[in-house]
Amino acid sequence: MKNTKRNNKIFLGTLIALPIVSIPFLTFSCGCNGGEKTNRFCINYLHNFDKTTRTLDLSKTNITHIPDGSFAKSFLETSVKEAKLANYNDLFVNGEVNIRKIIFPESIEYIGRAAFEALQIEELDFTNCKNLSLIDSNAFWKNKIKTLVLPNTTKELKLNRQAFALNLIDNLTLGTNIRSLENGIFEANKLTNLELSENITSASLDSFVQEGNITLIVKNADLKSYLQKQLASDEYKKFVSKITIN
């Protein structure tokens, strides 16, 4: 079993004071290269925004890769204004991005770092995304997602650091081809129960530290043993009352 390397630094020092509204460690700048190219990318697709349903529907596109930071709030604020889009007032309401739902296309394979960070997204539709292989770091950091259903993909779906951190997730369905959950992927949400299937062989507790208490139902015996030992370690003992492993 490929468990989390013990020499990984888990960065939990800034998470001690949960519940969290803002976590200094999570303050993130995507550091995206090629900003002009990224701006052009988002402008090409913002005409798909429906102001009535507040949905950005990409399902009829052939996008395979969404670049780093391409729809992040900081990029949209500058890109939309500079492009003088006709639907600017539809996209921004009271200073906030008005996108609440995103429908992804069947063709999508990669969602870049901070691609949709710090918006007001409540729903993601991955229904047809069988080719998705990587959701990169902070891709959906600090949104308002409540229910998340990750797709059953044809190959392993990897989730990088804090991909869904700082949302409102209280209902999570993991795809059948997810093998690893590490590096704070779901931290600072509202999960109270989560089942980790036999297929998940690598995980770290920092991915599951929530605003409240959480019970993890771990089906893989080796992973269960590893997480129990991790919880008993000096680094995690402060969370013994918040995390139950069954």
Which tokens in the block code for residue 103?
Answer: 């429908």
Same domain, 141 and 221: no
Same domain, 204 and 115: no
**Structural domain of residue 115, as residue ranges?**
33-173
Q: Which among 212, 210, 213, 209 is positioned nearest to 230, based on CA atoms?
A: 209
Q: Where a domain ends, among 125, 146, 173?
A: 173
Q: Which among 127, 120, 126 is positioned nearest to 146, based on CA atoms?
A: 120
Number of folded domains that form the chain: 2
pTM given for the model = 0.84
Same domain, 102 and 164: yes
105 located within any domain: yes
Report pLDDT for 106.
97
Q: Which among 178, 180, 162 is positioned nearest to 11, based on CA atoms?
A: 162
Task: Let me know if 47 is exposed, middle or buried by CB neighbors in 10 A (0-12, 13-18, 19+).
Answer: exposed
Give pLDDT tens digits for 190-226. 999 999 999 999 999 999 999 899 999 999 999 999 9
61 located within any domain: yes
Same domain, 53 and 154: yes
Same domain, 42 and 112: yes
Give pLDDT tens digits for 110-140. 999 999 999 999 999 999 999 999 999 999 9
Q: Is the dihedral of CA 86, 144, 71, 94 positive or negative?
A: positive
